[in-house]
Structure 1
Amino acid sequence: MTKWRRTASLTRTLVATATGACLVAGCGVLPGSPGGSGSTITVMTFAPQDTKATNMPGMPGMAKAYEAWINSKGGINGHKLRVLTCNEKNTPTGAADCARKAIDEKAVAVVGSYSQHGRAFMAPLEAEGIPFVGGYGVSSEEFQSTLSYPVNGGQPALLAGAGHQLGKACSQVAIVRPDTLAGDSMPILLNAGLKLNKAPEANDIRAAEDSADYIAQAREALANSSGGKDRGCVTAVLGERTETFFDAFRREDSKHKNPQISSVLGSVSQAVVDRTGGKESPFEGAYVTSWYPVSTDALWEPMRKVISERAFGNDAVDPDDSGTQTTWIAYTVLSETLKRLGPDEDVTARKVARMLSQEEPVKTGGLTPDLSWRYKDMRAVAGFPRMVNGRVNFQVVQAGRLVAQQGGEASMDMTETLEQAPRAA
């Protein structure tokens, strides 16, 4: 026998001996095998970054902070958490690429992510049985796929809530929204909320979501928000470009009609208010609809502590940002779900999905109602059958801070309103 053959034979013998000893002694999971005590659980968080339209860098930033924090505490049931991040680029191709990366890396879930391109990312994930946990709620597929587990009511709940909030204050509303597939459903959902207060349907104004000039839309909004003797309302839902629109809007409002302005959290945030002047911000007095309690609520303290300890130096991870908050809640759901597994159980994508679909409700520390995606918990919202949490919170910008709106409902479950809304085309 030649020297190299003797060496190869000895190597195979040593590997076989070590493998057999591990199997008998239970010394953990071999590389490449799923689950097991001390094994690594891989998940992914994706979001658009460095694009000309909406960017959500706080979501992958929060995911990495959560990874560092949970692993410093011994992981989840003894499993180390490995978080992959991916730039979705705000394109269908980018979304599909992120989904394929999750598949290639054997992720057991995609958690706390953002994409408008649900068709591009859900199909690959569905083919591999990978659950999509706690998406931002901007694509309709997040509320339709049986492998999606939304933690909020997405844009449908926000827009219906904004309609209810505005319908009590104004006799006429104009909505400025993206000229995209996702934007096409926005007026329908807003009108569902307006209908609660017998207010007329909103004037629909389309705009390019990556434009740098919204003068034409600002003029149209001013012309179409006249409420007669009452105050007119203008709401804009343009993501990061909402700030650009309202800058143009204020410059065009030369006759001081002073209509009530509004938006939804995600398009307007505390960071935007701070950046545009705080108490002197053009958003002062604006109505804002949110999924979650105001960011100063004590319920957010655990998240703030993790950000302070594990995301220091990363300005993208803003505790006031709704994307950051959604990712925190999504990882809370994942962690609470995995804790129900035994420490020696394999963790696979299909097992995670099965638990989410069948187990008792998951608690999120009071930030949302207890969440459950069992068949009996689904609601009859046309086009959004996976919605299990339609609650929104009503806020207002007051002295430069987003605070809970006083003098009425602080929050409301919009599910019944959405059940009665016509289905978006």
Structure 2
Amino acid sequence: MTGWRRSSTPRPYRTATVLAACMAAVGASLAGCGMLPGDSGGSRAPVTVMTFAPDETRATNMPGMPAMAQAYAKYVNEKGGIDGHELRVLTCNERNTTAGAAACARRAVKEEVAAVVGSYSQNGRAFMAPLEAAGIPYIGGYGVSEEEFTSYLSYPVNGGQAALLAGNGRQLAAGCRKVSLVRPDTVAGDDLPVLLNTGLLSGKGRPSTDVKAAEDASEYLEEAAEARDEAGSEKGCVTAVLGERTANFFDSFRRLPQDDSDVRISSVLSSVGQPLIDRTGGAGGPFEGAFMTGWYPEAGDARWGTMREVIRNHAFGDNRIDPADAGVQTTWIAYTVLTKVIEALDRDSVTPGAIAHALDTGVRVDTGGLTPALRWRFEDMLGVPGFPRVVNPKVTFQVVRDGRLVAERPGFVDVARTMSDAPMA
């Protein structure tokens, strides 16, 4: 960046104003205004991107992410686009399958998108290979696949599940004598106990008990009983990270026969959010007093004000979008990154290679305090095994009080050291 500032007026409108003045001065001679044959008159090419996420599946569904992307496009296009470029958003149902993820990526390549932005998929290998072959950057994925933190074309905006679990361990170490972790019996789930335990140990806590569970079960009574028994009756804690099925687990936990234990529950904000807390009774429900670890400030924070306004004005009545959902929030931040990059490029045609180059060489993105300032230069990356491309290893500690998620402590907690210490394979 050179330090000069452009007007916030969209490029086509600036050009039109200058052209009108110039034509008046030279008697409507386009040549006198420096116009070349075939010049578009200042209009800029549209920028097409894709957002994909699973919907209507038996496991985790994220319909709010593509819906937020569409609302963002309406928002910026109403203002003249991003630096004069109309934003066109394609959406794709990833279906929580490798075939679905690969199909979305192939469609992105076929449609010649400039980037895939604010998307969710556990099937990183399936979608990343086609994107890499076409040179298409992946900006602000949700953070649940290994490839999001290893691919040279991935630009994460948070520390993914790894940061949440490391942070959750740190948070629980302060108040829990014993911890049970309930997590998916999947390859991706196998890393979670390692990260949680590293966080627990860094906070002088004990390693957790690992309770494996099916990712798509309708009830978890057996796992809930095991987790409660292993946590013990004195300052015991049960934390569950099962994505959308976390609600099913805590419903099973609530229905266990009462005993004399006083176990406190916990989760991370990729699995539990304010909508679930509201649906399960708020202050009178099972989550009252629960510890929660998130990537971003609590949903009621004023820094989400612009996003909330965009949802009100451009997605009114669309019940897929909840501003308290971590997927919706991640998509908002990812599109903020895209906007900053396009503005920094300041060119008539935006290509995948131009976006990737701008990110690699140091475009700095201010997200208004929703994250630390983001940059993806080599020196900005955490560089630890398993997560080399993490540039934001910070989390927030929250707690449910009177039925609302609020900050347990102010500001961000840096878990870079905890992630670095985790003995990942």
Secondary structure of the residue aligned to 1:24 is coil
Partner of 2:83: 77
Contact 1:382/1:421, CA 8 A, preserved across alignment: no
Contact 2:344/2:363, CA 8 A, preserved across alignment: no
Aligned-residue identity in percent: 58
Partner of 2:311: 307
| Cα distance per residue 1:77-136 (max 9 Å; x no partner) | 111000000000011111100000100100010000000010000011000000000000
Q: Which letter maps to 1:96?
A: A
CA distance, structure 1, for counterparts of residue 405 and residue 237 of structure 2: 19
Q: Cα distance, 1:343 vs. partner?
A: 3.9
Partner of 2:413: 412
CA distance, structure 2, for counterparts of residue 380 and residue 341 of structure 1: 27
Partner of 1:294: 298
So what's the TM-score if we normalise by structure 2?
0.90
Partner of 2:96: 90
2:232 corresponds to 1:219: no
2:114 corresponds to 1:101: no
The ranges of structure 1 where at least 4 consecutive aligned residues each deviate by more than 4 angstroms after the TM superposition are none
CA distance, structure 1, for counterparts of residue 93 and residue 39 of structure 2: 39
Q: Cα distance, 1:264 vs. partner?
A: 0.2
Q: Cα distance, 1:223 vs. partner?
A: 1.5
2:335 corresponds to 1:334: no
CA distance, structure 2, for counterparts of residue 357 and residue 49 of structure 1: 32
Contact 1:219/1:252, CA 8 A, preserved across alignment: yes
Partner of 1:276: 280
Secondary structure of the residue aligned to 1:252 is coil
**Residue segments in structure 1 that go unaligned for 5+ positions in a row:** 1-21, 29-35
Partner of 2:360: 357
CA distance, structure 2, for counterparts of residue 188 and residue 260 of structure 1: 21
Secondary structure of the residue aligned to 1:245 is helix
**Residue segments in structure 2 that go unaligned for 5+ positions in a row:** 1-34
1:26 pairs with 20, 39, 59, which one? 39
Q: CA RMSD in A?
A: 1.3
| Cα distance per residue 1:15-51 (max 9 Å; x no partner) | xxxxxxx9714126xxxxxxx8421100000001001
Partner of 2:379: 376
Q: Cα distance, 1:359 vs. partner?
A: 2.3
So what's the TM-score if we normalise by structure 1?
0.90
Partner of 1:181: 187
Contact 1:78/1:343, CA 8 A, preserved across alignment: no
Q: Which letter maps to 1:388?
A: V
CA distance, structure 2, for counterparts of residue 92 and residue 190 of structure 1: 27
Contact 2:246/2:271, CA 8 A, preserved across alignment: yes
Contact 1:222/1:253, CA 8 A, preserved across alignment: no
CA distance, structure 2, for counterparts of residue 215 and residue 124 of structure 1: 41
Partner of 1:43: 49
CA distance, structure 2, for counterparts of residue 258 and residue 108 of structure 1: 52
Secondary structure of the residue aligned to 2:306 is helix
Q: Cα distance, 1:250 vs. partner?
A: 1.6
Aligned residue pairs total: 391
Q: Which letter maps to 2:325?
A: D
1:398 pairs with 393, 398, 401, which one? 401
Partner of 2:8: none
Q: Which letter maps to 2:150?
A: Q
Contact 2:49/2:90, CA 8 A, preserved across alignment: yes
